[in-house]
Amino acid sequence: EEEWAAGIAGLTRAGQMSTGGRQEVVLLSDVLGVSMAVVGANHPAAGGATESTVLGPFFVDGAPEVENGADLGAGAPGRPCLMRGRVLGAGGAPVAGAAIDVWQADEAGMYDVQYAGLEAPRGRGRLHADRDGRFWFWSVLPVAYPIPTDGPAGDVLRAGGREAMRPAHVHFRVQADGFETLTTHVFVAGDPHLGSDAVFGVKRSLIAPFTAHEPGRTPDGREMDRPYHSMEYDLVLAPVQR
Residues in the chain: 242
The distance between the two most distant Cα atoms of the chain, rounded to a whole number of Å, is 65
Q: What confidence score (pLDDT) does residue 47 get?
A: 82
What is the per-residue pLDDT across 39-87, written as a single tens digit (0 to 9) for each?
999 988 778 999 999 998 899 999 999 999 999 988 899 999 999 999 9
- d(CA 230, CA 192) in angstroms, rounded, equals 19
What is the value of pTM for the model shown?
A: 0.92
What is the per-residue pLDDT across 197-239, written as a single tens digit (0 to 9) for each?
999 999 999 999 999 999 999 999 999 999 999 999 999 999 9
Share of the chain above pLDDT 70, in %: 100
Q: What confidence score (pLDDT) does residue 46 get?
A: 77
Share of the chain above pLDDT 90, in %: 86
What does the pLDDT average to over 158-186? 97
- d(CA 59, CA 183) in angstroms, rounded, equals 11
- d(CA 46, CA 95) in angstroms, rounded, equals 18
Residue 242 pLDDT greater than 80, yes or no: no
DSSP lists the bridge partners of residue 27 as: none
- d(CA 135, CA 155) in angstroms, rounded, equals 40
Report the side by side order of strands in the sheet with 207-208.
Answer: 124-128, 99-103, 169-175, 182-188, 207-208
Residue 21 pLDDT greater than 80, yes or no: no
Nearest to 240 by CA among 173, 175, 171, 184: 175
Residue 142 pLDDT greater than 80, yes or no: yes
Q: How many CA atoms lie within 13 A of 36 on its CB side?
A: 14
Residue 162 Cα distances to 36, 143, 158, angstroms: 17, 19, 6
- d(CA 203, CA 206) in angstroms, rounded, equals 5
